[in-house]
Amino acid sequence: MTDVATLLAYGIPHLLQQTISIISTNLLYPVMIILIILIAGSLIELGGFLFEWRNRHRDLRRMEEGAVRARVMLKQSDTKGAFGILGQSCSNSFVHEFLYRITTLYRAHPDRGMLEARLEKLLQDLDFEMTKKLERSRFVAKVGPMFGLMGTLIPMGPALLGLSAGDIDALANNLIIAFGTTVVGMMAGAIGFMVATIRTRWYRQDMSDIEYLSELLFGDLESSSGIPADHRAPVTPMPAPMPVVCPKPDENDHLGIIGTIVPRSWESVHCAMILTRSGLISAKIAGSILANHTFWMGVIVSVNAVIITAMMIRGIDVPFNYLLVINLFICAAFVVTIYSIRARARSESKRLERMPANNILADDRSNFEVPYSDIKRVEIDKSRNIKILTESGWIEMGRVEKSSLGSLGVLHAALPDRVVEV
């Protein structure tokens, strides 16, 4: 009886203590790996946030004017001109996405009742997509400090054991791990919280603009009152509004511009698909071997291979910190190069937007035009690659940039029933 009592008093608590100690100690390295993934993910989110911030520009007055003109054109059954104007009036990505999808809906469901139901579903889908895009940064903001705290508490046990045994080295090493994981977790959480907070405000504004646009385009105050026309109170007629004058464009007027990236051997070329009244122009706006991701991956692999070979053969001692700094420098050079090339492409695209079609074709010998009458089919796959079928065969136009997704609505309007998503 005494042995059983002794086992219950000392054996089981000791066993539980050892089990918890083993589990917590073995969680240290997984926690450290997760923290590295979280800080890398937060930096990627920060880069995407800065790029999105750079591309955001909102002109409410221009958007209102474009929506009013588009509504007049929709009443005149000019779908092509209406969504062409809207594609040039809005710039933020989710607003562009709304215009792209509403173009397809309007063509597929001209019936008023069906269009209103699908429009409501489209607004809900866009709201879900905004929430999904915010989930990554919100996840990092909440989980980063949790794993940082875990990384702080796990090494404390071995650190206290080292202190009691007089092992100063074990105490110092465990404290370094504890404080380092805390800093990394808090840093990842701070970046995620900042990105999530600002993007939430952005997307609320985008959703407000989308709802405002849908109301301007398809709102019908007379049919929404729910009162029969015979029982309505007489309304004093208001003066007729001034008609919206839509100047008739010539053949060189641009309906919209779609930015694409065309891979050519080792070079990544930024092109602009310019939609005119008569045809589609493909114009080169920027391109360099330095814009190719494969090139930079080759640089990183080559530099690391040379350093590791020199360490093994020549016996050169290169500290890990130096190797890490070299790789970070190459990555920073890659980001700066890509950013500068994209900025140059946007600037060149704006320059071509003001040029007549003949001058664009003469600007570079690789520029060409495909008349709408020669286009039989346009395919857009899930990776946003566009190719055009003509009498001479398929023409690869490249991958559509995310900032130009909204302009795809102009392509649908310019080529009705010939644009297919595969």
* Residues 97-111 pLDDT 10s: 777 677 666 665 556
pLDDT value at residue 27: 84
Gap between the Cα atoms of 271 and 369, Å rounded: 13
- Indicate whether 256 pLDDT > 90: no
276 alpha-carbon distance from chain centroid: 28
Residue of 93, 110, 75, 343 whose CA lies nearest to 216: 75
Can you give the pLDDT at residue 84?
66
41-55 confidence digits (pLDDT tens): 888 888 888 878 877
pLDDT of residue 266: 67
pTM: 0.56
Average of per-residue pLDDT across 228-255: 45
Mean confidence (pLDDT) of the chain: 77
Instruction: Report pLDDT for 225.
Output: 36
**The token pair that represents 383 in the structure block:** 């990776």
Q: Where are the domains of the chain?
A: 7-220, 291-345
Please tell me the predicted confidence (pLDDT) of residue 196.
92
Q: Looking at residue 236, what is its pLDDT? A: 42
Q: Which is higher by pLDDT, 237 or 185?
A: 185
Report which of residues 327 and 219 the model is more confident about: 327
Q: Among candidates 234, 345, 233, 332, which has minimal Cα distance to 286?
A: 345
Whether the per-residue pLDDT at 214 is higher than 60: the answer is yes
Average pLDDT (162-168) is 83
Measured from the Cβ of residue 262, the count of other Cβ atoms closer than 10 Å reads 19
The average pLDDT across 131-148 equals 90
**pLDDT value of residue 66:** 75
Whole-number percent of the chain with pLDDT over 70: 80
| Statement: residue 188 has pLDDT above 80 | yes
Confidence (pLDDT) at 143: 92
Angle at which helices 168-218 and 156-165 cross, to 10°: 170
* pLDDT at site 406: 64
User: What string of H, E and C letters represents the secondary structure of the chain?
Assistant: CHHHHHHHHHHHHHHHHHHHHHHHHHCHHHHHHHHHHHHHHHHHHHHHHHHHHHHCCCCHHHHHHHHHHHHHHHHCCCHHHHHHHHHHHCCCHHHHHHHHHHHHHHHHCCCHHHHHHHHHHHHHHHHHHHHHHHHHHHHHHHHHHHHHHHHHHCCHHHHHHHHHHCCHHHHHHHHHHHHHHHHHHHHHHHHHHHHHHHHHHHHHHHHHHHHHHHHHHHCCCCCCCCCCHHHCCCCCCCCCCCCCCCCCCCCCCEEEEEEEEEEECCEEEEEEEEEECCEEEEEEEEEEHHHCHHHHHHHHHHHHHHHHHHHHHHCCCCCHHHHHHHHHHHHHHHHHHHHHHHHHHHHHHHHHHCCCHHHHHHHCCCCEEEEHHHCCEEEECCCCEEEEEECCEEEEEEEECHHHHHHHHHHHHHCCCCEEEC
pLDDT tens digits, 334-371? 877 877 887 788 778 778 777 788 888 888 888 888 88
Which of 65-69, 212-216, 249-253 shows the lowest mean pLDDT across its residues? 249-253
The yes-or-no verdict on residue 238 having pLDDT over 50 is: no
Q: Which residue has the higher pLDDT, 150 or 88?
A: 150
375-386 pLDDT, tens per residue? 888 888 877 888
CA distances 338 to 145, 258, 290, 401, Å, are 32, 19, 8, 13
Compute the average pLDDT of residues 200-211.
Answer: 87
What residues form DSSP beta bridges with 281? 274, 369
Q: Are 250 and 233 in contact (CB under 8 A)?
A: no
Tokens of residue 392, six digits: 């001479």
Residue 133 has what pLDDT?
87
User: How many whole angstroms separate alpha carbon 146 and alpha carbon 182?
Assistant: 9
Among the listed ranges 57-71, 76-90, 273-287, 408-422, which one has the minimum average pLDDT value? 76-90
Do 323 and 329 touch, CB atoms closer than 8 A? Answer: no
Judge whether residue 32 has pLDDT over 60.
Answer: yes
pLDDT for position 263: 74
Instruction: pLDDT band for 194, please (50, 70, 90 cuts).
Output: very high
Q: Which residues of 147-166 are buried (b: 16+ CB within 10 A; e: fewer)?
A: bbebbbebbeebbeebeeee
pLDDT tens column, 261-288: 887 666 678 888 888 878 888 888 887 7
Evaluate whether 120 touches 105 at the Cβ level (below 8 Å). Answer: no
Q: Which residue has the higher pLDDT, 181 or 89?
A: 181
